[in-house]
Structure formats: structure tokens, C-alpha cells
Amino acid sequence: MENDARLRARVTSVLRASSVFGTLDDAVVQDLADVLSLQTVRGGEAVVREGDTSNSMLFVISGALRISRRDDSGHLLLFNELRPGASFGEAGLILQQPRAADVSALRDSTLAVLNRKDYEALLTRHPLALNRVFVHAIYNYLRHTVQTTHRHAESVVVVPLSHDEDALQVARGLAAAFAKMGSTHRLSLAENNAFAHAGGDQYSDEVARQEKLESEFDYLVYETGVGTSAWTQRAFRQADQVVFVASTKSPHDLGVLERQLINEPGYAMKRRHLVVLHPPDTVYPSAMRSWADGRDIERIYPTRCDHAGDYERLSRFLTGKAVGIVLGGGGARGFAHLGVLKALHEASISIDLIGGNSMGALIGAQYACDVPLDEIRKRTQTFAAGGERPTLPLISLVSGNRVRRDLIKMFGDLQVDGLWRPFFAAACNLTKGRTTVQETGPLWRAVLASNSPAGLFPPVLIQGDLLVDGAILENVPVAAMRMRLGTALEKRRGNGTIIAVDVDVQEELGAPIDLSRLSVWSTLKGFASPGAKRTPSIGQIMYRAGHIGGLNQRALAIGQSDHYLEPSVGHFPLMGYRSAAEIAEVGYRYTMDQMTRWAR
């Protein structure tokens, strides 16, 4: 009886807080609340199905629901979440149309249902007021307006795949990271065991506890143990996201608990992740690719025990606050990237993903290896000064052997997916006619492919495909970063922040208007006439041809990034590697100035 009264009070509270129904007079709100029937659904259960008859509308009182559909090929498409305070089904109820999508419970939820008979009775008692709010509701539906909902906590369940202690380590580290973002509560195994043995109406008490926690905290972290238990299943139902935890010594194939949870209702609706725990003194993680086999997960996170930075990066990915940086190519002008990275570091902006092309890939790969910025500058200058020998020009003008040898020396046996922070290098795939994003395989090979201009260097071979410098298609590969920042479940634009750095200055390329033909003599004459407009050299022509796609894609890249930086480095020559420190300083000062505008 007490629980029923509490729920009724909650229904009234939800209606009054609604941006649509909260505009009604108190008497009308109370009349509406009195005719609503309460319905409870367990996490994973279907609430309505696409095509069903619409004979009711529903209000979310507690828990969370997910709207989804299947496309023609049967692929699951996930749309909005519905949180406490949201309503759905108004259009179908009023227009008598079939349900437009599936709605399932993400968590154990309580719904308030208004059926057609009671809706029509209410209209006779309050025609003007209810017609006004329902017209407003239909307007929101047609405009896809997001409804204002009550505050709710982000909830994560941590599930061990081998040892309880591994999961406890991650749960503690993740809770500490969340605590830097907002109020956080970790539901320990001991706390939950005590609650389970407290007696009373277990389900009703659990719903009440969940509502209380949701209203008090921003983040909830559920601990679970190895093996399936009633608590594990309940925590799984209440969580928005699942973090599986394995250690480097764990078997890589799916375990019993994973297979059992896969069969739980609502598994496909939750974001799923895998943390692979490493000892705290591990220099580089093991390659992650083998962990993905057979798993349908969003991302794999190599993580060190007791390493706060790794847990903070994990928390940013889980909450959609991860920051990705994309570094473009541009020869020596790419040293500006070092200045940009220095400015971001001083502003305490942590970089969670790194992508690059050409010079940006070379600098980005070293940064992903945690090489200090000054050391990156020195190593890159030494690398660039090595030169390259001409070769018989059958496939390229130079052999590329020295560059290959020095990149192997620089990166050794490191794999692209064997770094603490995700990294990718873009390259143009001449075989397939598209950009290839390299995020597995030897790190030196990925950087080499991204730094091999077509015609100048031989293409890099990967499974028979010919890979060259990516600037032919995309010099600043923002689209690839946007795909990797968005969740794998929700096919949307992305949920993090992208900072793109473009150092490929658009220099004027042309010839005097009275010149009808380019020739050796016209070019030499231009060199001998100071102040006259010069004709382009072979190097300038080849460089522009190799970057034409990137120039053409610049507007798209700007639109897909959150911050697009273009340091003023055009007065430095492409081969001005001796000016590395000055170029980096230009990038630093430019970025510091830009960040003051971000703050405004």
C-alpha cells in the first residue's frame, strides 16, 4: 500500500515536471494521474512492437527505455533513449496509427499507461486544456523535439571474465574517474549482498533504491562477481553499459558468463566494452586484435592496474567526452602539430584518440607511444635529414629503403593496436580507390604507407593492395576519426570532440596570363626575374597533384570536426626541417589564441 502511494505520488511529480503536460492546471494533472494505470517491465523486455495497434500512450516513471527498428536486412538500428519524464505513443493514440518502432526496456522500469477509453473520457471533461497539450505533443513528435526529462545517473556494470579482483580493481578505478566528473556511487558486492538479505518486498524495494540512487548521483558503478547470480542479472538489467574485464593471462575466447549474458533480454540494447587489465609497470600493452574475435563489443581498452590516467580515459569514452585529434600532412610545416599538442597539454585537455596522415601520422604515432614532445621534434628532424637514394624509375623515383629502415628502427615491433591510446594512420589505397585506415599491424608500416607519396616512393603492399600517402583523397582524415568516436551501436555522427589540425597551406599555383605553354625556359626565366610571377616547378606540380583530393575535402573535414585549426605556417618551406622549433612555436601560439575563443 505504501509502495503504491509512493508510485502514485511519483506519477504526479513526473507529469508536473513534463515540459508538455506540466503546463496543465493542478486539477487536470491530478485527474490525468488518477486514470493512469501502472505497468512494470523488466530490463530487456519489449514494451511495444513496430506495427502493433496504438491503443495507448505511456509515460516513463522510472528506469529507461530504448526505441529501435530493424532495417530491410535485419540490422538493428538504435534510436532515442526514453528516461523518466518522457512520454511516447501520443501520435499513434490520437491519429490511430500503428506503432512506428519497437520500444524495449533498458532497465527495470515503471510506466504509466493512458488507454484510449480514458483518453476520450478526459477529453470530454477538459477539452480545451488537453487538446492544447496534445497538439503540442504531436508538434514535438513531428519536429523530433527531445523532451525534457528528470535527472538520471549514468550506470555501468563491471563484469569479471576470470577473477573477481580484476573487476573490483576496474570498478574502483572507474568510480574514482567518474568522481572527477560528478557525484558517484559504487555499489559494492558487500553492499548488495547485505541488501539482498534484508528481507521485504525485494523487487519493490530494489526499484525504490534505484530511484533514490538515480536522483542523488550522476554516475553509478555496479560491482559483480564471477559466475551468474541473481545480483549479476539484476545489475546487468539496471545498467546502461557493460564493461567486461579480463587480464592478460585470461583465455581470449568467450567465457561461460559472457555467453549467458548474451542471451539475457536487452543485451543488444546496451553499449558493451572490454577492459584488458595489465600489471602497473607494463611498458606497452599486448596487441588487442585477438580479443575482438567472436565478441560484439564497442571498444577494447588496454588498462594498467592503479593507473588513474587509463581509467579517466575509459570514463571519457563511456560518457561521450573522449577527445580525438587528427593531424594532417604538410612536410616540415607539420612540426606545428607539436605546438598544438603542447598548448592542449597545458590547458589540461587530454587526448584519447590520435589519427594522422603523412607528417601527421609520423608525429601522431610517436605521441601515441608517449614520446615527449621535444624528443619527437629531435627524432623527426634526424629522420628527415637522412635523405633517400634515387632508383631506376620503374615504380618510383627513390627506393624508400632508408625511410623504411629508419621507421623500423624508430618503432621496432610495436603494433598499431598495441598502444595505450588508440591510433590510426590514413593512406590512399590505389587498388580499391579509397582511403584505408590502418589500425592494426606493424606501426612502422602504417606510418610508412602514410608517408609514401605516389610516384616519389614505392607504394606499400598490404595483402596485395597498393597504399600511398593519403593526401590524394584526405589529407586531414576527420571522417575516420568521427566514425571511431561515435558508438558502434548508435549509427550517429559521433559523441566526442574532434580537434583537427591542417598545416597544408593552399598556396597559389598558376602561371602568367600571357604565357601559352609551360617550358624549361619559361621556368628558368621566372627564376631570373625577381618580382615576376613564377611558373610552378615539377616539385610544386607533383605536390599539388598529390594533395588535390585533400584540398577538395577541406570543407567537409571542417564540417565534421568540432575545432579546425589552421596555424599560419605558409611562410615556412615544405622542406624547412631546420626550422622545426620555430614552426612548433607558431602552432603553440596560434592554438593558445584559439582556445581563448573556445572558452568564450
DSSP 287: P
Q: Are 314 and 219 in contact (CB under 8 A)?
A: no
358 is catalytic: yes
Convert 96-124 to b/e letters by CB count within 10 Å (16 or more is b): eeebbbbbbbbbbbbbbbbeeebbeebee
- The Cα–Cα gap between 149 and 139 comes to 17
- The Cα–Cα gap between 177 and 350 comes to 13
Q: Are 89 and 58 in contact (CB under 8 A)?
A: yes
- The Cα–Cα gap between 487 and 495 comes to 7
Which of 358, 452, 561, 579 does the annotation list as catalytic? 358
- The Cα–Cα gap between 16 and 26 comes to 8
Under 8 Å CB-to-CB from 187, ≥6 apart: which residues?
213, 220, 221, 222, 223, 235
Give the 3-state DSSP-derived string for 490-552, with helices as H, strands as E and coil as C: CCCCCCCEEEEECCCCCCCCCCCCCCCCCCHHHHHHHHHCCCCCCCCCHHHHHHHHHHHHHHH
Across-strand partners of 65?
82, 105
At 504, the amino acid letter reads D
Q: Are 37 and 115 in contact (CB under 8 A)?
A: yes
Grid cell listed for 440: 592494426
- The Cα–Cα gap between 358 and 501 comes to 13
- The Cα–Cα gap between 54 and 36 comes to 16
Which of 469, 502, 561, 579 does the annotation list as catalytic? 469
Closest CA to 157 of 221, 65, 231: 221
- The Cα–Cα gap between 391 and 455 comes to 12
Q: Are 389 and 396 in contact (CB under 8 A)?
A: no
Q: Are 363 and 371 in contact (CB under 8 A)?
A: no
CA distances from 408 to 152, 404, 457 (A): 50, 6, 16
- The Cα–Cα gap between 221 and 84 comes to 20
Grid cell listed for 148: 525534457
- The Cα–Cα gap between 549 and 504 comes to 12
In 3-state terms, what secondary structure has residue 126? coil
- The Cα–Cα gap between 488 and 78 comes to 10
166 is catalytic: no
CA distances from 28 to 15, 85, 135 (A): 10, 17, 16
What would the DSSP string read from start to end of 227-260? Answer: S--HHHHHHHHH-SEEEEEEETTS-SS--HHHHH
Q: Is 364 exposed, middle or buried (0-12, 13-18, 19+ CB in 10 A)?
A: buried
- The Cα–Cα gap between 366 and 236 comes to 39
Q: Are 254 and 383 in contact (CB under 8 A)?
A: no
Known catalytic residues are: 358, 469
